[in-house]
Chains A and B, each alone.
Chain A
Amino acid sequence: MKRLLALVAALCMMAAHARAQDVPLVADLSNHLVAITTGFTGTDVLLFGATDGPGDIAVVVRGPAKDEVIRRKERFGPIWANANAATFRDVPSYYRVASSRPLEEFAPEALLSRYQIGLDAIHMIDANENATPESNADARKALLRLNTENNLYDQGVGAVTQMSNRLFRTELHFPANVPTGTYLVEVYLFREGQIASAEIVPLVISKIGVGAEIYDFAHGKLAFLYGLISVLLALAAGWVAGAIFRRV
């Protein structure tokens, strides 16, 4: 309840601020840091904001870019094995777009493509030499489908709620398998087929606590020491268990 009150207060202030300063768009997140702890099962972050009048809102969340390899299985005799792979450079590891109504109803395709708004607008170029437009399109569709199945990509039409043409809000979901890094939450205000205003809010997703320390230890310079400790722990555990059960 307290949080809700604070949120309402913040929204009111933002609306007043937007009108007073003549800023067309203000937006913020309920949380700027998502901590992945040992019990992490996914979380929701609230994005809220205000506009200085009517308009359509599109929210894009982008995770850190990475190279994605897509493999297609083919039949070799009786068995199915991975054959040709497509490599897409700098694809977002996480991508979520939310809007109040279908994107194409309020934004021209050229703008959507330029700002990579919407799953179909994400730029993907196959870095492989022998890639054809057909194989590229297939691999692209597969990447979108697989990442959507893994809850890493999503296009939510109607996910943004607007109130009295001033306030808007949307829940952004981050699943348990969310990649870590710095995310950018982009908020676009569309009016008459143009971007009237835009704002970018950063969001950090990082591992916190014992899990993070183990990960850093295992991936750092002391990886050998981590391995040694793991083996010694395993030896000790096995020896202790054997000793206990020998007595019983």
Chain B
Amino acid sequence: MQIYLPIAEMSVNIFLILGLGGAVGLLSGLFGVGGGFLMTPLLIFIGVPPAVAVGTQAAQTVASSVSGVMAHMRRGNVDFMMGTVLTAGGFVGAGFGVWLFNLLKYAGHIDLTISLGYVTFLGVVGGFMLAESLPGVLNRRPVALALAARGPGRHLWMQALPFKMRFRKSKLYVSALIPLAIGTLVGLLVAMMGVGGGFLMVPAMIYLLGMPTQVVIGTSLFQITFVTAGTALLQATVNKSVDIVLALLLLVVGVIGAQIGARLSAKVKGEHLRIMLALIVLAVAIRLALDLVITPSELFSLGGGDGS
């Protein structure tokens, strides 16, 4: 059965969309990740214009993170002060990202930028995850522990920065510039690549800021919810690239998939999960990298202003 997507201006098989949404939702529930980094490239693979894929994914990420942040708020696992600073940075980055996205779209380089961005981030994140999980399985000594043991406070240059703020919940006294910079980078990723950015923010919060792990997930979800909501609003107003029909289709099955995935994850070993996720992430990165390197069968492409 075909359904016409009004903003993407294309007709797609509804079961393909539901299948993709459900599968990515299942993975995101299973691994506790946002799933945007898989959904955006998949949408582009099936022919959704990159701008619409990125804009719609921002709206969908709002839905998938809001129930998480509310659960963490009930348990008191959100550092609102830190979350607000991260969100402020996120808005700056998102605004800049939407502007840059438009600029690159009209120059004809947006596909390449998105692909390069994904290859870089997925390659790095997948590589780290694999490096961190493999020793855990092979000789039971994760690198993460070694890294965490080194702990915060080692970054002396950070202590020298101005605008210090006290973050009570995180028990930190650091310069506001650091969370602001992290937030800005994440906002840029949301606007340009349609990802929540949790995969970048969570390690940065743990290793760079030295936040206690129990508030990291809740606080990052807090930032992601607000920044993706702001980005979706901006993309809808400036680029007209949020397809609400596509977003709703994806999020209905995505939410169900995520719940099933979360239940399944209790039955699978954590280390094996991480290795599986790392392999999936690396596979997407390699696929995108190959597309950039292999001589294309069609050298020409059409692109009015729509970047497709």
Contact = CB atoms under 8 A, between A and B. Distances in A.
A72 interface: yes
Interface stretch (B89-97, B154-162, B168-176, B288-296): B288-296
Nearest to A229: B244
A235 B232 CA distance: 12
A225 B6 CA distance: 17
B301 interface: yes
A192 to B, nearest CB: 39
A238 B67 contact: yes
Interface string A209-248: 0111011001100011011111101110111011101100
25 contacts: A38-B3, A39-B2, A70-B300, A79-B112, A79-B116, A80-B293, A81-B112, A85-B108, A142-B300, A146-B301, A147-B302, A211-B245, A214-B6, A218-B242, A219-B240, A230-B247, A231-B236, A233-B248, A234-B59, A234-B247, A238-B63, A238-B255, A241-B63, A245-B255, A246-B71
Nearest to B225: A235
Nearest to A39: B2
Contacts of B111: 82
B214 interface: no
Contact of A234 (B63, B116, B302, B304): B63
B241 to A, nearest CB: 9
B71 A237 contact: no
Interface in B160-195: none
Contacts of A237: 63, 248, 251-252, 255
Contacts of A68: 302, 304
Nearest to B302: A146
B60 interface: yes
Bin the interface of chain A by size: 35 or more
Contacts of A36: 4
Interface string A22-39: 000000000000001111
A146 B237 CA distance: 31
A238 B248 contact: no
B7 to A, nearest CB: 6
Contact of A242 (B6, B66, B233, B303): B66
B82 interface: no
Contact of B299 (A72, A78, A210): A72
Nearest to B303: A69
A192 B237 CA distance: 57
Could you say which of B4, B62, B112, B242 has the most chain A C-beta atoms within 10 Å of its C-beta? B4
B109 A69 contact: no
A139 B302 CA distance: 10
B64 interface: yes
A41 B1 CA distance: 10
Given A69-B302, A218-B7, A226-B244, 7 more contacts: A68-B304, A73-B296, A80-B293, A82-B109, A176-B11, A177-B11, A218-B6
